[in-house]
Chains A and B, each alone.
Chain A
Amino acid sequence: MSDPKIEGFELEKGFRGMAKDTGSDQTMFKGVHWGKAMMWIFLLSDTFVFSCFLIAYMKGRASTPAEWPNPSEVFALDAFGVPVPLLLIALMTFVLITSSGTMALAVKYGYERNRKMCGYLILATALGGLTFVGMQAYEWSKLIHEGVRPWENPFGAAQFGSFFFMITGFHGTHVSIGVIFLFIYCYKVFAGHYEEGKRGWFTKMKGDYVEVEILGLYWHFVDLVWVFIFAFFYLW
């Protein structure tokens, strides 16, 4: 990647300048790694997937004739004998957001070629993700014990269970895939693959610390989606 800036070159003002810059020679996003551009566009596409899910959820919730369960009762957790609304979910959200922070630090240390710190932070992120998935599994099993099923639930509209399991399940799948990749990348960082430019097992392409950043983009996206799911399921 060369420096995209050109000495003494001034961009035209306004829309015309923007169009010229966008359509200019060779690359649209100057100096942006191919993989990074790919991840951004994939995330845009994935945003549409989650948007479709959430819009379907809104439509389903609005049009079902049965009453919607009260989230602060359904999602309450007994702490020392007292039901605390949204306790588990607050913990889950905290863990996931924290793992986003460790991921961001891992990217920073990766670019600084601090192999060990980068590796430990990726490991921490992976463990955070694993904790999240574990707590989600606990939440699912709790709801299932209480009789909530995809096709029915004792608290009201059957669509509650359907949408809840489908959307959190789809998000949980995203997190799990992310965790798997985090462990792989953790291994690659500790083994020094990115520093010696070792070729990948499948793709036969040389790796670079930019891959950590690309995985980071995915991880932050998964966190961001969780914020929306949190708002739509637990706060609405």
Chain B
Amino acid sequence: MSEEYENKSGYQAQSSETISGSSSGITPDMDYVRPAENAEQDLYHPHSFIEKWVFCQDAKVIGVQYFLTAVFTGVVGLILSWLMRLQLGFPGLAGFITAEHYYQFVTMHGMIMVVYFLTALFLGGFGNYLIPLMVGARDMVFPYVNMLSFWMFFVAVAVLMASFFVPGGPTGAGWTLYPPQTILEGTPGHGYGILLMLISLALFVIGFTMGGLNYMITILQARTRGMTLMRMPLTVWGIFTATVLAMLAFPALLVSSIMMTLDKLLGTSFFMPTILKAGEVLEYGGGSPILFQHLFWFFGHPEVYIVALPAFGIVSDLISVHARKNIFGYRMMVWAIVGIGALSFFVWAHHMYVSGMNPWFGFFFASTTLIIAVPTAMKVYNWILTLWRGNIRINTVMLWCLGFIVTFVNGGITGIFLGNVSVDVPLSDTYFVVAHFHMVMGIAPLMVIMGAIYHWFPLVAGKMLNENLGKWHFWTTFLGAYSIYFPMHYLGFIGVPRRYYEMYDSPYMTSGVGLNEFISTAAFIVGAAQLILVFNIIKTMKTGKKAGQNPWKANSLEWFTSTVPPEHGNFGDRLPVVHRWPYDFNVPGAEEDYLPQTAAPSEVAHTEVEKT
């Protein structure tokens, strides 16, 4: 087995059985790559329209399905946010928005955006599309389970959306669904709404588990020859670590959903203490509402990083490609991703400083929260140092990346405020918190999603999106998003509480009324500005210029497929063989300013590439 030599052309995809005869060593030792450990994957090719586009087993199609479904939920979430801003900026203008409706909008907006939009988009959408391509696999390792995963997600979304149409409407308990109020009379949607929400969450977890197993095993066990873990693009690292977090954090959500469903349906008292309602003692008694908060946030905090880590990974790749420079401190970046992922399981109770838990908990969780800022800050420094003296191309993708860094640093700094118990207590439940988490896990990941759309659209659709429209889209979104969330910090400082239907003539609002109108106006504009992207996509599909292979001159494997867009099986007859990391840009001595991962050392013998 030790005398296997790699073909000079750089491609070989036979299984280990067939190549054990040894090819006659034409190429020098320097190109040696270990023979294939996995047999060629057995793929099931679709035979009908339904198998090709509906119940499809191709990870790329599943990725697009996930993406479109998630975007649909995102649009619903956006419309809900418009309705909220309409009420907050111009109270009473839209008479149909009652207080109950407002709470339902808040709840559904939160849950949709965090779980059904961002998580599904990053892991289901980008994960499915990019993982097999980037690690050099023909497909996910369990294509059938992968297909089930999407359809389970689809059913979860359908159940969630159905809750808009049941008697009583969707739940209005806030996205955290804190008991006891969630399932008690007086909370909007305490009947069918909350039940459908809990069922939908459980379905989502089941569906995600099926997908997550695929992502993990594909990355761990199905990489192509030469693809070591430390040669994987950071996108894959980010998605991988986020998947690990999801596999360990979603159980808590599943369990809390089941327990609350039983509280609601069977009248158990897991989370329900003894409650007096209108002078009467309810049937409930002896349960612990704090237990739910612990379970929820044991899921909820890793969830933040489930959204953030893929964004970190993707943005690292985009910055490196569009600054034509290798990512600064690749290993540090990997360890930072893994470290953040591990630490994210030890910070959950910083969401519960005012819940009445033991104050020593606050001490512990404040410390871990501040510690997690260290690897995060390292990543920010590394992005900036990647840009430093790079050959930066100010195109749309780069603009989104820069927008990400700014909004993320902004949201991260306010996070350090809120991580300290003594600062958090007066600020909790104010607009400062709203501004913080929208900046750090709303706008920042969204910037990355947009950048990723502009970056990978040529791969998925084969055509280049229009740059001018892209820049309009970016600047309206970026400036608009800042106009929305920056003033909210100030609203929080003057004490405006969040989740209030209306402020009436409260003394908080002397300087806040005009600001609220301004924020709402900006929100309408930013939401509408997303139509630029829709228009851009339609225009591009009709008249856009062909992208061809590797339009950005990137190094990673997804740009070296046999056809653009890639077909089922991704790489044609032979899988690529990897010789280097994906960040060899502007290597001294190389003819082009990039060296693909498949470039063998002997092909570029005169360059000064460091060993990876």
Taking beta carbons and an 8 Å cutoff, which residues of A are in contact with B?
1-4, 6-8, 22-32, 34-35, 37-38, 41-42, 44-46, 48-49, 51-53, 56, 59-60, 63-66, 150-151, 157-159, 161-163, 166, 170, 202-206
Contacts and interface: CB of A to CB of B under 8 A. Distances in A.
B225 A26 contact: yes
Contacts of B266: 150-151, 162
B220 A37 contact: yes
B286 A56 contact: no
B104 to A, nearest CB: 28
B286 A64 contact: yes
Contact of B268 (A7, A26, A46, A150): A150
Interface string B433-476: 00000000000000000000000000000000000000000000
B34 A26 contact: yes
A41 B259 contact: no
A148 B411 CA distance: 51
Contacts of B295: 52, 56
B165 interface: no
Given A2-B37, A150-B266, A38 B144 contact: no
B248 A44 contact: yes
B248 A45 contact: yes
Contacts of B357: none
A38 B247 CA distance: 12
B141 A1 contact: no
A56 B37 contact: no
Interface string B64-77: 00000000000000
Given A64-B287, A66-B286, A158 B251 contact: no
Contact of A30 (B37, B226, B270): B37
Nearest to B283: A151
Given A1-B39, A2-B16, A42-B209, A59 B288 contact: yes
Interface string B257-276: 01100100011111000000
Contacts of B258: 166, 170
Contact of A23 (B222, B230, B262): B230
Contacts of B278: none
Interface of B: 1-2, 16-17, 33-39, 42, 44, 141-142, 144, 209, 212-213, 216-217, 220-230, 247-248, 250-252, 254-256, 258-259, 262, 266-270, 283, 285-288, 291, 294-295, 298
A7 B225 CA distance: 19
Most buried by A among B212, B217, B258, B269: B217
A205 B286 CA distance: 51
B214 to A, nearest CB: 8
Nearest to A200: B144
Nearest to B292: A56
Contacts, number: 160
Contacts of A4: 37
A25 B217 contact: no
Nearest to B269: A158
B2 A60 contact: no
Nearest to B212: A45
A26 B36 contact: yes
A22 B262 CA distance: 43
A162 B37 contact: no
Contacts of B259: 56, 166
B225 A38 contact: no
Contacts of A37: 217, 220-221
A26 B38 contact: yes
12 contacts: A25-B34, A25-B228, A28-B220, A38-B213, A45-B250, A60-B288, A66-B286, A150-B267, A151-B283, A157-B286, A159-B270, A166-B262
Contact of A26 (B213, B224, B251, B269): B224
A28 B229 contact: yes
B319 to A, nearest CB: 23
B255 A29 contact: no
Contacts of A44: 247-248
Contacts of A59: 288, 291, 294
A177 B219 CA distance: 28
Most buried by B among A1, A4, A25, A150: A25
B1 A49 contact: no
Nearest to A9: B2
A131 to B, nearest CB: 27
A45 B250 CA distance: 9
B258 to A, nearest CB: 7
A37 B427 CA distance: 46
Contacts of B255: 49, 52-53, 56
B229 A22 contact: yes
B247 A41 contact: yes
A205 B42 contact: yes
A54 to B, nearest CB: 10
